[in-house]
Structure 1
Amino acid sequence: MAVPPVVIYPPDDDGGRRVSIDDTIVGRAYSVLDVARYLQEAGLQEADEMDVVRSLLIEWRGGGPDEWQH
């Protein structure tokens, strides 16, 4: 099974989640809007919050898109 190119890691103590795209950590997100911005910076200019929630390219670890607290 192929690993999705975007991984959202479990929330840390500050409520942020590390975001990796193609095995490179691109930053920390505090909401799905932040994840959408990282996707836009990676070249998916049309990405929005609903794309983040529904995308099969994103692997959510330690909780889904509604989980931002440790």
Structure 2
Amino acid sequence: MAIAPIIVHPPSPSGGRRVTVRGEILGLAHRDRDVVEFLRRAGIPDAEDLLDDPSWVKWRGGRAHHYEAA
């Protein structure tokens, strides 16, 4: 099974989730809109359609789309 290229890491103690693509850190997201913008800047079109596709995005720790402090 292939590993999803986009990882949304667990919420940090201060809030927000780190977003990486193939190991490269794109930024700290505080909402889905941030994730979509990071992916757009990385050249991934239609990113909003990918957020719930497990073959593209792996949500680690906590619930998907949840950004509050751990």
Q: With structure 1 as the length reference, what TM-score do the two structures score?
A: 0.82
Give structure 2 stretches of 5+ with no counterpart. none
Give structure 1 stretches of 5+ with no counterpart. none
Q: What is the percent sequence identity of the aligned residues?
A: 35
**Partner residue in 1 for 2:37:** 37
The CA RMSD over aligned residues, in Å, is 1.5
- Equivalent position amino acid for 2:39 in 1: L
4+ aligned runs moved over 4 Å, structure 1: none
Distance of aligned partners of 1:46 and 1:9 in 2 relative to their CA distance in 1, 3 Å threshold: same
The structure whose residues are more often strand, as a share, is: 2
Q: Number of matched residues?
A: 68
State how 1:2-17 maps to structure 2 within 5 Å.
2-17=2-17
Alignment pair present for 1:19 and 2:9:
no
